[in-house]
């Protein structure tokens, strides 16, 4: 079987490799010529994916990349993994899905299966994508070509998370669409979870992400309440999680980051308005999580104040720019917000991240592009008035940090278990 994966990013690349390993021939399509070129040369551009994996897939002739969308006439199935961000007004931007649909529609062969994987609001596949595919091809979905939605469940940076082991929810436009899509994924993934419609599959993915956003907001709020009572939230979560049923631990932090949790819930908020419905949990969680960087800055202010220093004029080092540990993905990272807030208060700001030597261009924080990570040594680290742990990468030596930095503000409980001096660490 030959398939095409469109959008070779954090989702599309590992998925392509998994299909290739399972014996399926994959034509990767992307509008970014640099990615196409790197894949064909066997080079990885994602830190946690080894170049050797790409080389093996390319050498086996089961994986190649191209930018020519007309080539989808060669394949039996197309999987779309393009970005779904929010626009300036925090409304869904499905333009990447629409432009992909427009690009492939004229080249669809009869009987081709098209599956959308990008996270989005219920109705995108059956309404929006279907419309452009039918208009561009002159065919009918469910009759001349098949249409389905199957959400991605990628856990970047988790070495125990394997694409083939993660159950795959699949919904089809018709029972035949569902059957075709289930058969496709069954070639590469062990467990397929069929649901009754594309909408149910879209809604399941949103539930998963809303669940995380709401629970993270809950512990973030409790962090502030318990802190005022002199109780440590991390101790509380670690105690509560020993309950063998009915509890799942979530941990507080400096705010939400990444391409999913801060964004996807608002896809539902927007769509719900069409039905005259409110999504109060989503809005409240968003409000609490968005306020977290301000809270961390208030703790930095207190920590500096205790040393007779003001934020204005202080040198502050942010430790961890990626939005989660052990990855190089900086999209929506709350560390950027911390840097902005501190700079606005007159601090001199720098960052250290072993996985991000230089800040790549981002949509929202372009003013930091090109700034380089400081180096990790005693002289550099000890020259800062405060070091703020915003992401706890495993590659950082926290014992060295305790020896080098006088004032540490820890929003991740990374200093637990490290020997520190009284008053040296401020939890935030």
Ligand X SMILES: NC(=O)c1ccc[n+]([C@@H]2O[C@H](COP(=O)([O-])OP(=O)(O)OC[C@H]3O[C@@H](n4cnc5c(N)ncnc54)[C@H](O)[C@@H]3O)[C@@H](O)[C@H]2O)c1
Task: Enumerate binding residues for ligand X (CB under 6 A).
Answer: 6-12, 29-32, 35, 81-84, 96, 99-100, 118-119, 152, 154, 156, 259-260
CA of 263: how far to CAs of 87, 123, 198, 283, 286, in Å? Answer: 10, 17, 20, 12, 9
Shortest Å, Cβ 238 to ligand X: 26
CB of 129 to ligand X, least distance (A): 12
Closer residue to ligand X (CB): 54 or 405: 54
Q: Which lies closer to ligand X via its Cβ, residue 208 or residue 400?
A: 208
Nearer to ligand X, 30 or 410 (CB): 30
Q: For residues 143 and 122, what is the distance between their CA atoms, to the nearest angstrom? A: 22
Give which of 312, 338, 341 is closest to 391, Cα–Cα: 338
Q: Which is nearer to ligand X, 118 or 390 (CB)?
A: 118
Q: Which of 81, 177, 198, 260 is catalytic?
A: 260
Please, which residue, 103 or 388, has the CB nearer to ligand X? 103
DSSP state string for 95-163: HHHHHHHHHHGGGPPTT-EEEE-S---TTIIIIIIHHHHHHHHS--BTTTBEEEE------TT-TT--G
Q: How far is the CB of 258 from ligand X (least distance, A)?
A: 7
CB 74 within 8 A of CB 66: no
Q: Between 85 and 354, name the residue whose CB sits nearer to ligand X.
A: 85
E strand or H helix that includes residue 319: strand 315-319
Measured from the CB atom, is 31 or 402 closer to ligand X?
A: 31
CB of 263 to ligand X, least distance (A): 7
User: Smallest gap, in angstroms, from Cβ of residue 285 to ligand X?
Assistant: 17
CA distances from 163 to 19, 116, 181, 276 (A): 10, 17, 16, 38
CA pair distance 91, 22, nearest whole angstrom: 38
Query: Which of 423, 396, 422 has the alpha carbon at shortest distance from 412?
Result: 396
Q: Which helix (H) or strand (E) holds 171?
A: strand 168-172
**Bridge partners, residue 141, by sequence:** 145
Alpha-carbon distance of 90 to 68, in angstroms, equals 32
Instruction: Record the tokens describing residue 6, joined without a space.
Output: 């469109």
> In the numeric block, which tokens belong to residue 102?
């427009």
Residue 279 CA to chain centroid, in angstroms? 22
Instruction: For the CB of residue 378, give the shortest distance to ligand X in the complex, in Å.
Output: 36
Pairing of strands 2-6, 77-80: parallel
Contact present, 30 and 53 (Cβ < 8 Å): no
- Exposure class string for 394-420: b at 16+ Cβ within 10 A, else e: eebebeebbebbebbbbbbbbbbebeb
Judge whether 260 counts as a catalytic residue.
yes
Q: How far is the CB of 215 from ligand X (least distance, A)?
A: 17
Nearest distance, CB of residue 357 and ligand X, angstroms: 19
C-beta closer to ligand X: residue 9 or 252:
9
> For helices 95-104 and 130-137, what crossing angle results, to 10°?
20
Question: What is the set of active-site residues?
Answer: 260
């Amino acid at each position: 079987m030959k398939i095409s994966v469109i959008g070779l990013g954090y989702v599309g690349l590992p998925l392509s490799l998994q299909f290739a390993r399972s014996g399926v021939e994959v034509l990767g399509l992307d509008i970014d010529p640099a990615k196409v070129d790197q894949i064909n040369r066997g080079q990885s551009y994602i830190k946690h994916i080894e170049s050797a994996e790409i080389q093996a897939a390319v050498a086996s002739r089961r994986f190649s990349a191209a930018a020519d969308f007309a080539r989808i006439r060669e394949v039996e199935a197309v999987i779309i993994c393009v970005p779904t961000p929010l626009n300036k007004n925090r409304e869904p931007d499905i333009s990447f899905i629409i432009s992909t649909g427009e690009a492939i529609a004229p080249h669809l062969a009869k009987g081709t299966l098209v599956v959308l994987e990008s996270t989005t609001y219920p109705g995108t596949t059956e309404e929006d994508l279907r419309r452009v595919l039918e208009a561009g091809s002159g065919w009918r979905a469910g009759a001349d070509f098949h249409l389905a939605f199957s959400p991605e469940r990628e856990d970047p940076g988790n070495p125990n998370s394997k694409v083939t082991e993660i159950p795959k929810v699949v919904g089809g436009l018709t029972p035949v669409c569902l059957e075709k899509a289930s058969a496709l994924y069954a070639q590469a993934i062990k467990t397929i979870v069929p649901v009754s419609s594309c909408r149910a599959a879209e809604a399941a993915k949103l539930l998963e992400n809303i669940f995380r956003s709401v629970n993270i907001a809950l512990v973030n709020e409790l962090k502030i309440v318990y802190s005022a009572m002199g109780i440590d939230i991390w101790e509380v979560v670690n105690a509560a999680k020993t309950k063998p049923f009915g509890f799942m631990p979530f941990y507080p932090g400096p705010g939400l980051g990444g391409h999913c949790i801060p964004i996807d819930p608002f896809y539902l908020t927007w769509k719900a308005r069409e039905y005259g419905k409110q999504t109060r949990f989503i809005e409240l969680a968003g409000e609490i999580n968005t306020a977290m960087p301000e809270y961390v800055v208030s703790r930095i202010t207190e920590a500096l104040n205790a040393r007779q220093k003001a934020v204005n004029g202080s040198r502050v080092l942010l430790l961890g720019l990626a939005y989660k540990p052990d990855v190089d993905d900086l999209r929506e990272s709350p560390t950027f917000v911390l840097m902005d807030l501190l700079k606005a208060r007159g601090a001199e700001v720098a960052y250290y991240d072993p996985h991000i030597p230089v800040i790549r261009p981002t949509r929202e924080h372009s003013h930091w592009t090109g700034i380089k990570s400081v180096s990790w040594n005693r002289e550099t680290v000890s020259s800062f008035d405060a070091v703020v742990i915003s992401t706890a990468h495993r590659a950082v030596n926290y014992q060295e940090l305790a020896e080098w930095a006088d004032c540490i503000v820890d929003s991740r409980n990374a200093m637990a278990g490290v020997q520190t001096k009284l008053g040296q660490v401020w939890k935030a």
